[in-house]
Every structure is written in structure tokens, then in C-alpha cells.
Structure 1
Amino acid sequence: MYEYHKLTAEQKAELVKYRLSQGYPPHSPPHPVQDKQFYLLTAACYEHQCHIHTEFRRQQLLDMIFDKFGGSGNEEMSASALTTNLRICAWVVLPNHYHLLVQVENFDVLSDLFRRIHGALSRQWNIEDNITKRKIWYRWSDRAIRSERHYHTTVNYIHYNPVKHGLVKSPYDWVESSVHWYLQACGRQWLRDCWTQYPVRDYGSDWDNF
């Protein structure tokens, strides 16, 4: 993610030139696949600083996400979600990044939704911390879900993420995660069977190393 900062001026210029030749923005991550039904969305804090360091802020972020993105499962969607036709299928919020598994009909709405959420929280958190013009967020990225196996493995990856990053010993110990929603809606045995049938293994070992 931050390898660009380590390049020389000549290497940076060459990389930007190549990206432009491929039709990509000069620095932002490309979004080459925009016609799928499900996506894993990931957003990270700038330089992976832990700006979402309290349960209150993580819940505040989740509340705004559900307000802008929409409901989960069979829950009633908010007014904004009805206009974007977007549903959240799984989620986890960590101190310095978060993951969402979403079903979306119009990929084009995502950039605006992230911009609204991140912009509002950046302003509020900078005021709370008495800091001016601090950059909170770096970017968001997406990964199209390719199959049913990919979908369920992604659910497991999201729920295991707090354990992967050494924050807790069990996925059930992390509050800001959809594992609790699945536990209530589907039961512990369903989660165990899903974990056994769709193991995470080294899922995400390359593309999500921010």
C-alpha cells in the first residue's frame, strides 16, 4: 500500500505513466470489475493509524455505514439504501481499517457513499482530537466475489479478522463484527459448518496487506 512512498522520483514518474497508459487513475486503486453482484470492500486509515481506536468510534462508523449503505439480512433498509439498492451481508470494524461484504446493483454509488462517510467522520474526529487538517482515511478498495465458495470464505475471513490481527482470541470476542448477527440469525452450528467447509487458510495474504 505504501511502497509508492519508498520509490525514487524517477520510479514514481514511471509508475504514474504506466497507470495512465492502462487507463487507471494516477494513484488511486483501479476498480476494473464493476458488474458483479457481491463485493468485499475494504477501507483503511491513512498510514494504518488507529483512528478508530474506541468502541464508541467503531460503533459510530457502523451506524453511519448502515445509515448510508442500508440494512443487513432481512432488516428494513434506510431511505438512502432504497435509492442505492445496496445491502450489507457481513462486516467488521477494527482500529485502523474495516471490511464490508455487500450486495450492490449500482457500483457507481460506492465512491460517493465512502466520501460522505469518511468526510463527515474526519471532520468530527479531528474536532474531537483538536487537530487541524489531519488525514484520517487513505482509500477504499474492492474485490469482486467470484463464486459461492468465495462468498462464504469471505464471510469467514471478515469474522476472523480481529483474531488475525491479534486483537482477540476468538471472533466472538470482538463486538463490531457481523459474527454476532450470524450467531443470532443462523446459529453457532451453522457458523462452525461454514468455517469447516470454507476455511480461510491464506485468504487475502497478498491483496489486503495495507
Structure 2
Amino acid sequence: MMTAACFDHAPHIGKNAQRISEFENSLLLELEKLSNSIFAHAVLPNHYHVLLETYDIAKLRIELGKFHGRTSFNWNKEDGTQGRKVFHGSAETAMKSERHFQATLNYIHNNPVKHGYVNKWQDWPYSSAAQYLTSVSKEEAAQHWLEYPIDRYGEDWDV
């Protein structure tokens, strides 16, 4: 999983609907070049998460840094804030098991709910949640949620 946040968690990504939508599209296009598969994503106003598979994480991090730099430059020009720090960097989390992978998928899709942007994760337009729900039945999605809960996500249960 790749995660990146805006500096000081400022909502630079989500300044407006057009910016967050364009960022989501650009991010996914960039990551498609550097990954084998993208399994889930959620882009929020001040951070994002992407669950993907890559065989060269070092190259992905370098290219993601360049993408953040280009994006920051363009947004700062747009906003008249040249030199402003936009991104705080990125971090990767390797999946330790199938259970960790599946819970991470749920965590990413639920992230807009966790942060109070929507009540139902499928209602957030800047994520793969709606696509996920069209690829599985409602019953299968509900079972997946019960089988791979996120209530203790990251508390060493995911090994």
C-alpha cells in the first residue's frame, strides 16, 4: 500500500472537485506505468491510499516523488503560492498476508467514511469502491467486510 499526505494535512488535493478528480486520474495513470496491478484506491482532500503490486518499489517511490513535485509546482502556480510545500512524502506498507491485503482493501475503501466525508464508502467518488461493488455481489461485499474487519487495523493482528 502506498500512502501520501499533504504537508500539515492541508487539503491541497481537494481544493475543489475538479482538482481532486484530475489528481485522481493523473495519479492512477502514473501508478499504472509503475505497477503490475492496482487493487484499490481512495483520494481524499489531504491524502491518498493505493493498494498496488510492484516489483520495483524504489523506482515507484522515486517516480511518485517526481509526480508530487510536478503537481506541487502546478498547483502553487495556479494558487499563486510559489514555494509552498504541498506534499509531505509517501510511505509504503508491504502486505504481510492475504488477510492483511483483504483488510487493507476494506480500510482504503472505508477511509472517506472514517474521515467523515461520506456515510457510505461507495458514495465517495474519488475511490475504487463503486467499481469494487460492481465486480462483486452485495452479499459477497458484506461477507468480505465481516471476514476482514478494520476495527483493529494495524494492531499486529494483520500478520
Partner of 1:200: 150
Partner of 1:172: 122
Q: Distance in 2 between matches of 1:95 and 1:85?
A: 24
Q: 1:124 to 1:187 in 2, by over 3 A?
A: farther
Structure 2 unmatched ranges of 5 or more: none
Count of residues paired in the alignment: 155
Higher RCO, 1 vs 2 (CA within 8 Å, ≥6 residues apart): 2
Q: Distance in 2 between matches of 1:135 and 1:205?
A: 31
Q: Distance in 2 between matches of 1:199 and 1:127?
A: 42
| 1:145-170 residue CA offsets vs partner (Å, 9 max, x unmatched) | 01111111000000110111111111
Q: 1:203 to 1:57 in 2, by over 3 A?
A: same
Q: Distance in 2 between matches of 1:59 and 1:130?
A: 21
Structure 1 unmatched ranges of 5 or more: 1-39, 71-80
Amino acid at match of 2:137: G
Partner of 1:69: 31
Q: 2:41, 2:51 within 8 Å by CA — same for their partners in 1? A: yes
What percentage of aligned pairs have identical amino acids?
Answer: 37
The SS at the match of 1:172 is helix
CA RMSD of the aligned region, Å?
A: 1.6
Partner of 1:60: 22
The SS at the match of 2:41 is strand
User: Do structure 1's residue 43 and structure 2's residue 4 form an aligned pair?
Assistant: yes
Amino acid at match of 1:134: R
| 1:49-69 residue CA offsets vs partner (Å, 9 max, x unmatched) | 110122222221221122211
Q: Choose which of 140, 143, 149 in structure 1 pairs with 2:90.
A: 140
Q: Which 4+ runs in 1 deviate beyond 4 A?
A: none
Q: Aligned-pair distance for 1:183?
A: 1.2
Q: Distance in 2 between matches of 1:181 and 1:198?
A: 19
The SS at the match of 2:5 is strand
Amino acid at match of 2:46: N
Q: Distance in 2 between matches of 1:120 and 1:59?
A: 17
Q: Aligned-pair distance for 1:205?
A: 7.1
Q: 1:91 to 1:129 in 2, by over 3 A?
A: same
Q: Distance in 1 between matches of 2:31 and 2:45?
A: 20
Q: 1:92, 1:158 within 8 Å by CA — same for their partners in 2? A: yes
Q: Aligned-pair distance for 1:116?
A: 2.3
Q: 2:123, 2:130 within 8 Å by CA — same for their partners in 1? A: no
Partner of 2:139: 189
Greater Cα radius of gyration, structure 1 or 2:
1
